[in-house]
């Protein structure tokens, strides 16, 4: 089982990201669950969402305390929340930032594998707004062998309708532009 924790701010799409990822996994015949954890429910407040993907039935229903992957949708979260808390030693942190993985690793003292992508820049260019959910899903699938990236296209089309093409372009760009530091 792969467990993923998403960190973002209300309105950025962390919960939507977890849901879309779970739908794509189910489309591939896997078992999946996605769920949020809210504090005060307001736009801009820190939000955490979770996703589990497995080849077998998932019986656990708790919050994810030791994720395999942490996905950070908003770079300001890196300085507010200990996003690496509980991350498995062989896990990976994927973050939205315009800085290189080396710069982030040195600045924050991150000890695990790290991947970065300028998801905000991509989202602004492709969507016209800095909502990074679909962009960060591209980054996630570029560094983690969770599923075929094509499996996300149908859920993206269903969720975003006439805006799907722009979201898919942002997803594809992030898939190709993500940098990883082992």
Kindly list the structural domains of the chain, giving each domain's residue range(s) and its CATH number in brackets, ordered by start: 2-181 (3.40.920.10)
Taking only the tens place, the pLDDT of each residue in 50-77 is: 999 999 999 998 999 999 999 999 999 9
Taking only the tens place, the pLDDT of each residue in 128-179 is: 999 999 999 999 999 999 999 999 999 999 999 999 999 999 999 999 999 9
Q: Is the pLDDT of residue 110 over 90?
A: no
> Number of C-alpha atoms within 13 angstroms, CB side, residue 56?
3
Q: Is the pLDDT of residue 32 over 70?
A: yes
What is the distance of C-alpha 79 from the center of its chain?
18
Q: Is the pLDDT of residue 43 over 90?
A: no
The mean pLDDT of the chain is 93
123/119 Cα distance (integer angstroms): 6
Token pair belonging to 136: 């960060």
User: Nearest to residue 177, comparing CAs of 133, 110, 95, 122?
Assistant: 122
Positive/negative CA dihedral, 8, 103, 128, 18: negative
Check residue 182 and give its pLDDT. 77
Q: Report the predicted TM-score, pTM, of the whole model to 2 decimal places.
A: 0.93
């Amino acid at each position: 089982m792969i467990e993923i924790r998403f960190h973002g701010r209300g309105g950025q799409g962390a919960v939507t990201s977890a849901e879309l990822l779970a739908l794509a996994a189910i489309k591939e015949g896997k078992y999946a669950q996605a769920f949020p954890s809210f504090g005060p429910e307001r736009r801009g407040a820190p939000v955490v969402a979770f996703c589990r993907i497995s080849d077998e039935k998932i019986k656990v229903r708790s919050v994810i305390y030791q994720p395999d992957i942490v996905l950070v949708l908003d770079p300001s979260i890196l300085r507010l929340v200990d996003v690496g808390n509980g991350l498995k030693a062989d896990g990976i942190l994927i973050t939205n930032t315009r800085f290189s993985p080396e710069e982030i690793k040195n600045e924050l003292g991150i000890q695990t594998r790290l991947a970065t992508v300028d998801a905000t820049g991509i989202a602004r260019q492709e969507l016209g707004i800095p909502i990074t959910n679909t962009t960060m899903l591209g980054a996630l699938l570029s560094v983690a062998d969770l599923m075929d990236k094509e499996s996300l296209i149908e859920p993206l089309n269903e969720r975003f309708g006439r805006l799907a093409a722009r979201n898919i372009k942002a997803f594809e760009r992030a898939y190709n532009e993500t940098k990883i530091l082992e």
